[in-house]
Amino acid sequence: MVTFIVSTYALPVWLGLALRSIQAQERSDWQALVIGDACGPETEAVVASLDDSRFRYINLPARIGEQAGPNSAGLAIAKGSHIAFMNHDDVLLPDHLTIALDTMTADRTNFFVGRSAVAWGTREIPGSGTGPDFQWFAPANRQAKDVFLRSHLLFEPCSAWVIDRALAQHVGAWRSSLRGHRASIQEWLMRAWRSGARFSFDAPVSCLRFNRNYQSPGGGAYADSTPPPAWFENCLNQTAESTRQQISEELFSQPRQRDLQLPRPLPEGRLRRALIRIFVNSLTAELYRWTGWDAFEKALTLMGGSKGALGSRLSELRTGFNLARAPTIESVVEQVVAEERTLTNTGKQS
């Protein structure tokens, strides 16, 4: 059984599509915890409209402002043999779970990092109307050590992951972006690597991402109720291979970079970049793996870097929310776990 942990905030029109892409999976042995980041009633209504008992909605008592909160809450109460994180504006192809679980079995691994295709905005597709403008897909030659050496974008979105639950819960809660210099998604991946994750990377594209969060500043994307292009909905009604073929034709029909090798997570400024390169290499990656000492974090701290600066910028850009106003992830997770325990003890949980 796979437990999806779906992190969502104030984007019900896209959430519905993401959840239908879970419903469209070839495999039916899944359940989904939809975790609202202190959402309004319209989010719960979307979940209820699916009329599927495999979906369960939990609304956090206070807003965290980043996926680290809902992901941590869902992880603390998940019961399935595997965990699959899911963003509310991503789409899974119907064979995503099949590819992930078959690959993990064949490779004897416990952490599947699938390949995603990423679109920026829309374009007119002859004969098909408006569709996503795919410009990049995750390369097939990623390595475990890259979780330390490379940009977190190389492994996004987490919707492409499937993880053994024992490993995921051993890694534990996601860290708030305010607590370090790295994005929380990368810091969690790094801890997974230290905890014995055996990664599978090479597989067909099975996850689609539409980078709408960056289309309008100040969180305007979350206030926008524009529905997803019908192209995404069509993906749920055709074979995954047909969609992959369309994406491949889209990518290779235009003169643009493909299969990019993304840059290392370096700060701005030539001096800083030169100094960081000294601390971000294969040797320091292995040092982190065996000791937990992150030379990247230490170097930025010594150079006067402000912890949480990256997370704060991303939050302001994506949602317009000031992370400093949020309660701690730990306190919210404690409340969710306590409520779950009460439901279990009273026999109300299904």
User: If you search the block for the tokens 């930025």, which residue do you land on?
Assistant: 300
User: If you search the block for the tokens 């309008």, which residue do you land on?
Assistant: 216
Distance separating alpha carbons of residues 61 and 39, to the nearest angstrom: 9
Q: Are 267 and 287 in contact (CB under 8 A)?
A: no
For residue 110, name the pLDDT band (cuts at 50, 70, 90).
Answer: very high
Predicted confidence (pLDDT) at residue 268 exceeds the cutoff of 80:
no
Predicted confidence (pLDDT) at residue 224 exceeds the cutoff of 60:
no
296 assigned to some structural domain: no
Task: Tell me the mean pLDDT in the region 106-112.
Answer: 97
- Highest mean pLDDT of the ranges 55-59, 118-122, 339-343: 55-59
Predicted confidence (pLDDT) at residue 287 exceeds the cutoff of 70:
yes
| Strand, helix or coil for residue 82 | strand
191 assigned to some structural domain: yes
274 versus 74: the higher-pLDDT residue is: 74
pLDDT value at position 265?
44
Distance separating alpha carbons of residues 100 and 63, to the nearest angstrom: 31
227 assigned to some structural domain: no
- Highest mean pLDDT of the ranges 63-77, 226-240, 323-337: 63-77
Q: What percent of the chain stands above pLDDT 70?
A: 86
Task: Tell me the mean pLDDT in the region 73-90.
Answer: 96
23 assigned to some structural domain: yes
Q: What percent of the chain stands above pLDDT 90?
A: 59
146 assigned to some structural domain: yes
The total number of structural domains in the chain stands at 1
Q: Domain containing 62: what range?
A: 2-112+141-204+305-346
pLDDT value at position 261?
40
148 assigned to some structural domain: yes
Strands (E), 145-198: 161-164
128 assigned to some structural domain: no
Predicted confidence (pLDDT) at residue 217 exceeds the cutoff of 50:
no
Predicted confidence (pLDDT) at residue 310 exceeds the cutoff of 80:
no
340 assigned to some structural domain: yes
137 versus 318: the higher-pLDDT residue is: 137
Q: What is 101-157 written as a DSSP string?
A: HHHHHHHT-SEEE-EEEEEEEEEEETTTEEEEEEEEE--S---TTHHHHS-GGGG--
Find the farthest-apart pair of alpha carbons in the chain and give their distance in angstroms, rounded. 61
pLDDT value at position 271?
58
pLDDT digit string, tens, across residues 135-160: 888 888 899 999 999 888 889 999 99
Angle value at C-alpha 261, between 260 and 266, nearest 5 degrees = 125
Mean pLDDT, rounded, of the chain: 86
256 versus 134: the higher-pLDDT residue is: 134
Q: Is the alpha carbon torsion for 178, 328, 172, 137 positive or negative? A: negative
Looking up residue 105, the CATH number of its domain turns out to be 3.90.550.10
